[in-house]
Amino acid sequence: MKTVAQLLSALCALCFLLFHSPASAAEPAKKVLYIGIDGTRFDAIEKAATPNLDALMVNGIHSPACLILGERYQKNDTISGPGWSSILTGVWADKHGVHDNSFTGRNYADFPHFFARLKEVRPNAKTASFVTWKPIAEYITSAADVNQNFEEKEKGSVADYDRYDTQATDAAVKHITEANPDALFLYIGQVDVAGHTHGFHPAVPEYVAAIERADKLVGRTLAAVKGRKTFAEEDWLVVVTSDHGGQGKGHGGGHKTPEILNSFLIVSGAAAKRGTFDEQVYLVDAPVTVLAHLGVKPKDEWKLDGRAAGLK
């Protein structure tokens, strides 16, 4: 007959196996869903019915006034070329070199997309980008395992961009479901097009409606993330921002216009703080936050302007 001590020792061995097996001891895999919604004013998000963005804010931290120009440098125009360059590289325009939508002067060789920085540190990391503004795919995105543009023709209608955005989202959802990305970027373009066509303002129904459609696309990507077979073993950070606001039917030359200068920033997930940012945040903080969640500590020689914001 076994002694009590022997039984206890057998039980402890079993417990050890159960709780210390490699699968249960593993850290959750850190992953990022990075969503950019072009030309989106936060006061219009507040006006719109946006249950998915609202849920991200409840489960994270946000700023209704994320500045699109830095304290240090503000000579670039307040438009998409410089904006998305800052959002994807973590540096201001004097470094990435993009001052307008011509992309002349671009210096992504020295200041690359954050995918390149991620791969520099973690060569096996998987990255994917789905956009509906061609210059991003053509000029900015590097080190992506998947790099797809869905904009068929420049300056299409709101309906055209709704179709492109839906196709980009379909592709992102498929990729999230079937592949295993560590960092995935989705760009939604129709809100900016609605602003240029009808006006950037919370009182403009077409602008608000475009934000509501964008929110549904955000919801579809979030559902895909939550539907992953391995979701329970993963730690997803969701970051959402925009490249500029707007006033009237435009946003160029908005250096002194708060409605244009202020974007928003949402950092959401288990790793994010809760509430609203006390400190001023900037577009360039978004990619550095993403890198921090993915375990990448910026090197000094990268000369990043942003800093990680909103993580616990």
Q: How many residues does the chain have?
A: 312
CA dihedral 219, 223, 225, 231 (to 10 degrees): 140
Shortest approach of Zn ion to residue 229 CB, angstroms? 38
CA distances from 92 to 51, 109, 253 (A): 32, 15, 16
First-to-last C-alpha distance (Å) of the chain: 53
**Residue tagged 């997930």 (tokens):** 269
Contact window for Zn ion (CB under 5 A) among 95-103, 164-172, 189-197, 295-303: 189-197
Shortest approach of Zn ion to residue 108 CB, angstroms? 21
* 39 versus 112: smaller Cβ distance to Zn ion: 39
* 151 versus 192: smaller Cβ distance to Zn ion: 192
Short-list 9, 24, 58, 55, CA closest to 233: 24
* 60 versus 246: smaller Cβ distance to Zn ion: 246
Instruction: Give the angle 238-44-52 at the CA atoms, nearest 5°.
Output: 35
Please name every residue paired with 275 in a beta bridge, in sequence order, or none if there are none.
61
Contact window for Zn ion (CB under 5 A) among 34-42, 167-175, 262-270, 273-281: 34-42
Shortest approach of Zn ion to residue 202 CB, angstroms? 17
Q: What is the CB neighbour count within 10 angstroms for residue 129?
A: 29
Site residues (CB under 5 A) for Zn ion, limited to 235-264: none
What lies within 8 Å, CB to CB, of 53 at 6+ separation is 45, 215, 218, 240, 266
Shortest approach of Zn ion to residue 309 CB, angstroms? 25
* 165 versus 192: smaller Cβ distance to Zn ion: 192
Strands (E), 10-105: 29-37, 60-67
Select from 151, 165, 192, 305 the one that contacts Zn ion (CB under 5 A).
192
With CB under 5 A, what is the number of residues at the site for Zn ion?
Answer: 2
Query: How many CA atoms does the CB half-sphere of 172 hold within 13 Å?
Result: 32
* 192 versus 259: smaller Cβ distance to Zn ion: 192
Shortest approach of Zn ion to residue 171 CB, angstroms? 23
* 154 versus 278: smaller Cβ distance to Zn ion: 154
Shortest approach of Zn ion to residue 241 CB, angstroms? 15
**Interface with Zn ion, residue 77, by CB under 5 A:** no
* 41 versus 117: smaller Cβ distance to Zn ion: 41
**Whose CB is nearest to Zn ion?**
192
Contact window for Zn ion (CB under 5 A) among 33-41, 103-111, 138-146, 261-269: 33-41
> Cβ(165)–Cβ(188) under 8 Å?
yes
* 82 versus 269: smaller Cβ distance to Zn ion: 82
Query: How many CA atoms does the CB half-sphere of 17 hold within 13 Å?
Result: 5
Shortest approach of Zn ion to residue 116 CB, angstroms? 26
Shortest approach of Zn ion to residue 134 CB, angstroms? 14
Q: What is the CB neighbour count within 10 angstroms for residue 258?
A: 11
Contact window for Zn ion (CB under 5 A) among 39-47, 97-105, 109-117, 233-241: 39-47
Contact window for Zn ion (CB under 5 A) among 36-44, 133-141, 223-231, 300-308: 36-44
Please name every residue paired with 234 in a beta bridge, in sequence order, or none if there are none.
29
Residues that bind Zn ion (CB under 5 A): 39, 192
